[in-house]
Amino acid sequence: MTSGNRTAREDPTTRVGLLSRAAEYAATVAIDLDVADLEWAISERARRRAGCCRYDPDSGEITVVLTWDAYREFGWDEFVGTIRHELVHAWEFQRFGESGHGDRFYRKADEIDAPRHCRSFTDGRIELVCTAADCDWRPERHRASRPVREPDAGYQCGECGGEYVVRHRASGRTWRTAEGYERARESLGDDW
């Protein structure tokens, strides 16, 4: 879409593709790290974290674990932030044998323009449920996007065009207006 001489590339569509693209991308990040020594793995299980970095102090092996569902949710352009963040952990492990979210981590993260916080994602915290009796449209939503926050702002069922309710899966709480969302959010507090 943009002009210029960069060749457009398809975003990875397979796990293998994501791993090789991630390793390739990591090599382009300006961080003093032996990227070629890193192991890469995919986490299939729905976790709250988009990625993590594992370190084996005995072998010195560092594994960057990427969460497939998070990649699917974010898309490549956003997911590179997760990769950069994990590279900072890898850098700390490689250099210092430990890693956390301390000052050293933050300084390095800022230096390579990585997000300071592990981006979390949730596995379908929310679902939209069409209220039409003969419609089974029920997509999951991970984030409080506008159709979640303001279902009364003219949004409709993606299948039949009818009304839907938003349902917070863990609590079973539902709402269909922006006000209802605010109330639910407030009463759920940390359980959101």
Interface residue list for Zn ion (CB under 5 A): 118, 130, 132, 135, 137, 157, 159-160, 162
CB of 42 to Zn ion, least distance (A): 18
Q: Which is nearer to Zn ion, 36 or 133 (CB)?
A: 133
Neighbours of 139 (CB within 10 A): 15
> Sheet holding 62-67: strands in order across?
39-43, 62-67, 51-55
CB of 122 to Zn ion, least distance (A): 17
Residue 127's nearest CA partner among 80, 82, 174 is 174
52: CB partners within 8 A, 6+ apart: 43, 64, 65, 86, 89, 118
Q: Which is nearer to Zn ion, 108 or 142 (CB)?
A: 108
CB of 157 to Zn ion, least distance (A): 3
SS3 of residue 80 by DSSP: helix
Q: Which is nearer to Zn ion, 136 or 182 (CB)?
A: 136
CB of 162 to Zn ion, least distance (A): 4
Q: Which is nearer to Zn ion, 132 or 185 (CB)?
A: 132
